[in-house]
Amino acid sequence: MSQAALFNVDDSDSMTIAQVAMQLNVSEASVRNWIKTSYLTSVYSGQVTRESFNQFKESIAGTEKLTRRANKLHRNSHDHVELCDRITATIKTRCSELDGESLAAEYENSLSTSYKNKEGVYYTPAHIAQSFFKQISVDFDTATFCDPCCGTGNFLVAALKAGFRPSNIYGFDIDETAVEIARLRLRELAGQDVAHIEHRDFLADVPMVGDHQLFDVIVTNPPWGKKLTKDAKETLAKRFHTKMSADSSSIFYFACHRATKPLGFIGLLLPESFFNIGTFQDTREHLLLNTIVSLHDFGKPFKGLVTKAQGFISQKLSPKSGSTVKCVVEGNTYERPQQAFSSNPGKIINLNCTEEENAVIAQIYSFPHITLRHQAKWGLGIVTGNNSKFCQTQPKDGYMPVFRGEDITVDGLEPPSCFIPADLSLYQQVAPVGLYRAQEKLLYRFIANSLVFHCDREQSFCLNSANIVVLNDSFPVSHSAVARLLNSETVNWLYRKLFNTHKVLRSNLEVLPIFHEFLKSYGDSFEEGELQAYLKVEEDNGTFRTKE
C-alpha cells in the first residue's frame, strides 16, 4: 500500500476519525474528545458527518481555544493545489530562464507551518546537507547515492558537489512538484538530465527500488512525526520490523537500512527526540548494532520548531571493540566510545555529553538504586478542552482551584490563580479521581527543561501542564524524599545530560536512579553536598566530575 493511499479522503457524507485528525493536524484522541463535547457529530462508531466537520473547521477552529494545532491550521494554511499548479506551470513555460535554486526557495517558503507539521517536511539547509558528505569514506566516482525523501533536492545537490556521478544519483519523493524542482536543479548543475530522480513512494517500493539495487550511500532528512493513521503505522511497522518504534523517522531508518549495501553508509537528519526518548529505543538499539561514524548537533535550523536537529552517519558494519564516535556539538568536536551509548539507560545517545561526563553518569548509576518503572501510578492533569471557557482567575461558587505547571516550585505550590467548575464530567480528559485525592502524591511540571517536583498532601487538582505520580504502597521511599532527590542539582544535571528535552516525559523519569539506601538514611532532609559525597562526585563549573 502506498503512502498516498493511506491518507486518501473521499467525498462521502461521512469521514473517519483518522481522516478528520489528518485534515485538522491533530491526534485522533482530540477528535474523539470533540465528538464527546458535541463539536463534531458522530453517525456511528469511528465516523463523523462531513457537514459537522465543515462547520467545525469554518466556524469553531480558530475561534475557540480547542487545541493549538487545530487553531494553527485555521490561521496558517495555504492552497497546496494552487501552489503546485503555479510552480509546475512556471517550470513548463519558463524552463530555460529559471534558476532552480531560487525556485526551490520559493516553493519551500510558500509551504504553510500547518502543512509542514502535518507532513513532517522541513527542508535541509545547504550547509547541513553538505556536512554529511565530509564524514563518508567511499569512492564518490563509482559509488551509488540515494535520497529517498529528496524534496527539492538539497541532498542531491550536495551529493553531486561531493563528487557522485549524475548517473549514480537516485532521488525519490511523493511530492511531485518538489521532484520537478529537484530535476531542474540537478540538470542545471550536471549539464544533463539526471535519470533517477523520480516521483515515487520509497516506502512502498523498498527493496524493489532501482530494480532490486542496493545503494552504497543513503543520506536523507525523513519526515519528522508525519501524521500517520493507525492502519498506516501498523502496516509500515510490520513491513519494516520496527518493533515498538512506529514513528515516521523510525520507519524510514529501517527502510534505509534495508536498501543499503553491506559496508554502505546511512546518514539521517532527525529531531533530537529520536536520540533520547523511549519511543525510539528499539530503533536506537538497532542503530547501535552498526558502526556509528559521527553524531552532529545542528542546533535549531528550522523556524518555528523548538526541537533541535541532530544527525548521525553510520556504516552497515558491526562495531569493533573500542570503536569511537566523532561528536560535533556547537562547534566542539570530541570522541566518545560507542559502547558508552549502549550502556546508557534506554540506549540513549546523548551526544551533548563528553566522555568525562559520561564517566560521571556511569559512576552515579553504579550506586544501589531503584527506579519508578512499575513502581507508581501516573496521571495527566485535567484537559478542559477550552481553558478560556472554563478557567477563571477568581474563586466562584461551584468552582475549585487547579494548579498549573508554573505554580509548582521546589519550595511548594504557589497560591492558586486558576479555578474551574468542580463538575469533572465537563472536561475532555481527567485522570482517575483517586490519583488527585491520594493522601500523598507528586506533582511535577510537564513543560520544563529541568525537574521541578512537589510532594502534595492537600489532594490538589492540576491542569495538564502538570502531571501526577502516586508511588505504590510497597515503594521503600517516601514521596517527599523522592521529590527532594529529583529536585536536587545532581539529579537535574544527570537528567539534562541524558535527555536534554523541553518536556518531562514519564519514560525518561522511569529510568532515573532513586537511591533508596541513601534516602532511607537521610530522608527528605539531606543536603546537596551529602548526596554528592555519597555518589563520590562534585560540581565543577556547571558540570560534574568524579572525586579523586
Which residue in the block uniquely carries the three cell numbers 550536471? Answer: 190
Say yes or no: 57 and 88 in one domain.
no
Q: Is residue 365 part of a domain?
A: no
Q: How far apart are CA 252 and CA 283, in angstroms?
A: 10
Q: Is residue 524 part of a domain?
A: yes
| pLDDT by position in tens, the chain (length 548) | 444 333 333 446 788 887 887 777 677 777 877 776 667 887 766 788 888 888 777 666 655 545 544 444 444 567 778 888 888 888 877 766 678 888 888 888 888 877 877 787 889 999 999 999 998 999 999 999 999 999 999 999 999 999 999 999 999 999 999 999 999 999 999 988 888 999 999 998 775 554 556 899 999 999 987 877 778 888 888 888 887 777 889 999 999 999 999 999 999 999 999 998 888 999 999 999 999 999 999 999 988 787 889 999 999 999 999 999 999 998 889 999 999 999 888 899 998 888 899 899 999 999 999 999 999 999 999 999 899 999 999 999 999 999 999 999 999 999 999 999 999 999 999 999 999 999 999 999 999 989 999 999 999 999 999 999 999 999 999 999 999 999 999 999 999 999 888 889 998 999 999 999 999 999 999 999 999 999 999 998 888 999 87
Say yes or no: 525 and 435 in one domain.
yes
Range of the domain at 10: 3-75
Q: Is residue 456 part of a domain?
A: yes
Q: Is residue 370 part of a domain?
A: no
Read off the C-alpha cell for 501.
528535552
Whether the Cβ atoms of residue 171 and residue 145 lie closer than 8 Å to each other: no
Please choose, from the candidates 185, 166, 216, 169, the residue with its C-alpha nearest in 3D space to the C-alpha of residue 123.
185
Whether the Cβ atoms of residue 371 and residue 512 lie closer than 8 Å to each other: yes
According to DSSP, residue 353 is labeled S
The residues, any chain, with a CB within 8 Å of residue 48's CB and separated by 6 or more, are 14, 15, 17, 20, 31, 35, 40, 41, 42
Domain boundary among 319, 352, 385: 352
Say yes or no: 59 and 113 in one domain.
no
Sheet arrangement for strand 461-462:
418-421, 399-403, 461-462
Question: Residue 229 is part of a domain; what is its CATH number?
Answer: 3.40.50.150
Say yes or no: 156 and 54 in one domain.
no
| DSSP, residue by residue, 92-159 | HHHGGG--HHHHHHHHHHHS-HHHHHHHT--PPPHHHHHHHHTT--S-TTT--EEETT-TTTHHHHHH
Whether the Cβ atoms of residue 251 and residue 242 lie closer than 8 Å to each other: yes
Read off the C-alpha cell for 490.
545532581
Question: Residue 452 is part of a domain; what is its CATH number?
Answer: 3.90.220.10
Q: Is residue 314 part of a domain?
A: yes
Question: Residue 29 is part of a domain; what is its CATH number?
Answer: 1.10.238
Say yes or no: 69 and 146 in one domain.
no
Say yes or no: 90 and 71 in one domain.
no
The residues, any chain, with a CB within 8 Å of residue 53's CB and separated by 6 or more, are 15, 20, 23, 40
pLDDT at position 229: 77
Which residue in the block uniquely carries the three cell numbers 530555460? Answer: 96
Domain boundary among 29, 56, 75: 75
Q: What is the pLDDT of residues 307-321, one digit of tens each?
A: 889 999 999 999 999
pLDDT at position 132: 96
Whether the Cβ atoms of residue 241 and residue 290 lie closer than 8 Å to each other: no
Q: Is residue 39 part of a domain?
A: yes
247 φ, ψ (degrees, to nearest 5):
-70, 155
Say yes or no: 266 and 323 in one domain.
yes
Read off the C-alpha cell for 444.
511535577
Which residue in the block uniquely carries the three cell numbers 532501482? Answer: 210
Q: Is residue 366 part of a domain?
A: no
Q: How many domains does the chain have?
A: 3
Q: Is residue 359 part of a domain?
A: no
Domain boundary among 352, 386, 404: 352
Say yes or no: 156 and 7 in one domain.
no
Say yes or no: 69 and 101 in one domain.
no
Say yes or no: 110 and 207 in one domain.
yes
Say yes or no: 334 and 445 in one domain.
no
Say yes or no: 153 and 92 in one domain.
yes
